[in-house]
Homo-oligomer: A and B are copies of this chain.
Amino acid sequence: MSTEPTRRPRPSTIQDVAREAGVSRAAVSKVIRNAYGVSDHMRAQVTAAIERLEYRPRVAARAMRGASFTLGFEIPQVGNDFLTMIVDGATEALADTPYQMIIAPLGRDQKGDVAINSLADRQVDGIVAISPRVDPAWLERVAERTPLVMIGRHDRSERYDTITGDDRSGAEQVMSHLLGLGHRRIVHLTIHPSRPEPPWAGQAGAEAHVVRTAVYRERMAVAGLEPQVVHTLFDGSEAHAATRTLLAAPERPTAVFAGNDTLAIGVLSAVAEAGLDARDVSVVGYDDVPIARHPLIGLTSVDQSGIELGREAVRLLLERLEGRTEAVRYEAEAVLRVRGSSGVLREG
């Protein structure tokens, strides 16, 4: 025979461990689950056998009967630094638990529900969803089966928990800041609304961006100013293009309030390319991503502590896994961080 004799062709199973340790499969199962009813002696035997055989439980098999010890994160945009902060916070909160995190990114042209379904299909024990654009009714049905935390949307649900920043306060702070600096022509740049308008839209003005835009309109109205809202795609390149158009207009804005930092950074690049700076056009973002505080960027932004949101998401999920069933709403504080990208207009 030409097959190598030494290599085990097959990873060891719980059966192998049981045989090796001279106990039953059930006994091994109890040991790896830290379940009740194992003698110290047996535990030692089994643990040794597990070591020797390099046994690792197959998660798929475990998931069929018990838990997968996996928490799934649905992330709409892998490169988004704000979402990264959330993941970092979650990672930290997961450190001393038996749970592993997996992230399901959105595929190209894919909606959040595909990724959320994919997590549910994989039998994760809990889901953190971040895509704002999924049907709440559908989400409730998912939450019937799998504990779920939704980050960034202000809707109220009986079945899943929600985590948000205080978007109203954050946007108020931005507007007070810009108006206080004397700006009058303030443009608001934000991601385009879902199109076609989903049937569940309007229901509670759920999305964070929608809240920010609403506050912008209110404050402009109160100040007796004409609002101008520009919609772009998620990524910064379109914000860049939109800003170029704005800057070329006869009456160019003196300030831009961007719906998030990714957009704001795109705005800044267009401003810089036009040879302008904060004394010509003030720019304010939202999320306070790490790069915002880079001295070459110096972006004024609203800190809603992504790290904390991620930590909290995990905490809520773990609570649910321990039995909580009533829905919880958590709101993080919003704090404006003023930096060089916003200021008073150049004189003359």
In the complex, whether A61 has a CB less than 8 A from a CB of chain B is yes
B-contact 0/1 string along A68-92, CB 8 Å cutoff: 1010000000110100110110011
Chain B residues whose CB sits within 8 angstroms of the CB of A56 once the complex forms: 117, 120-121
Residues of chain B lying within 8 A (CB to CB) of residue A195: none
Cβ contacts A254-271/B at 8 Å (1 or 0 each): 000000000001001100
List A133-188 residues whose CB lies under 8 Å from chain B: 144-145
| CA–CA, A63 and B79, complex, Å | 30
| Interface residue? A107 (CB, 8 A) | yes
* Contact A60–B70 (Cβ < 8 Å): no
Q: Which residues of chain B have C-beta atoms less than 8 A from A87's C-beta?
A: 78-79, 105
State the A residues within 8 Å of B (CB).
Answer: 7, 11, 56-61, 63-64, 68, 70, 78-79, 81, 84-85, 87-88, 91-92, 94-95, 100-109, 117-118, 120-123, 144-145, 265, 268-269, 272-273, 290-291, 294-297
16 other A-B residue contacts (CB within 8 Å) besides A56-B117, A91-B106: A7-B144, A59-B60, A60-B61, A78-B88, A78-B91, A79-B81, A79-B85, A79-B87, A94-B107, A101-B105, A102-B102, A102-B103, A122-B122, A268-B296, A269-B294, A272-B295
